[in-house]
Amino acid sequence: MSRWWISLRDAGGVATNPQSWPAVTATGRSGGRSGADSAILAALAGGATAAEAARAAGVSERTVRRRQAEPSFADDLDEARRALLRTALDRLSAAATTAVDTLSILMDAEVAPSVRLGAAKAVIELGSRLRAEQELSDRLLAIEEHLDLTERGAT
C-alpha cells in the first residue's frame, strides 16, 4: 500500500495553471520521500505534465521522469489519482440528488412542454443507465466474493 497520506481539499478540473490544479498535498510520509517528491506527486496526480510538475517542485524534468519510473513512486501516484477520483465521485454523488430534484421540478405542469419532455427523457435515460450500472456492479461484486471464497477454500 502507499507510503503517502493524501489530503484532498478539492477535486476540481485539471488545467495547466498550477493554482488551478486539484489541491492534493502529502500530509505525512515515510520511506524517506522528500518535499520535492511530495510536490511532484501532488502535481502529477492533479493532471500536470512532467514539465509542470518539475517547475512546481523546483526540480528538473529529468528528476520527475526518474521518479515516475520508480515502482514505489508510481504506486503512490496511482493511489493519489484514485483518491482524487474517489473525491470527485463523492461530490458527483452528492450533486446527483440536487440534479434529480431539478429534473423533477422541470417536469412540473407549469413548465413549457418542450422542457418537460426533455426532463422526462433525461430522467428515463439516466435512471435506466444508473440501474444497469448498479446491476453490473452487483454482479461483479458477487463474482469477486465468489472468487475470494474459492481462493480461501483452496488454501
- pLDDT tier at 32 (50, 70, 90 boundaries)? very low
Please give the tally of structural domains in the chain.
2
- Boundary residue ending a domain (61, 78, 95): 78
Query: Is residue 13 in some structural domain?
Result: yes
What pLDDT is recorded for position 155?
58
**Are both 64 and 22 inside the same structural domain?**
yes
- Boundary residue ending a domain (38, 59, 78): 78
Query: Is residue 90 in some structural domain?
Result: no
**Are both 111 and 71 inside the same structural domain?**
no
Query: Is residue 122 in some structural domain?
Result: yes
Query: Is residue 63 in some structural domain?
Result: yes
Query: Is residue 112 in some structural domain?
Result: yes
**Are both 74 and 15 inside the same structural domain?**
yes
The predicted-structure confidence for 90-108, as pLDDT tens digits, reads as follows 888 888 889 989 999 999 9
Could you list the residue range(s) of the whole structural domain that residue 138 is in?
107-154
- Boundary residue ending a domain (35, 61, 78): 78
**CA separation, residue 135 to residues 46, 58, 70, 125 (Å):** 31, 47, 38, 15
Query: Is residue 70 in some structural domain?
Result: yes
**Are both 24 and 71 inside the same structural domain?**
yes
Q: Report yes or no: 25 and 38 within 8 Å, Cβ to Cβ.
A: yes
- pLDDT tier at 148 (50, 70, 90 boundaries)? confident
| pTM score, whole prediction | 0.55
Three-state SS across 18-75? HHHCCEEEEEEECCCCCHHHHHHHHHHHCCCCHHHHHHHHCCCHHHHHHHHHCHHHHH
**Are both 10 and 55 inside the same structural domain?**
yes
What pLDDT is recorded for position 94?
86
66 versus 22: the higher-pLDDT residue is: 66
Query: Is residue 133 in some structural domain?
Result: yes
**Are both 111 and 74 inside the same structural domain?**
no
**Are both 116 and 55 inside the same structural domain?**
no
Q: How many CB atoms lie within 10 A of CB 98?
A: 9
Query: Is residue 143 in some structural domain?
Result: yes
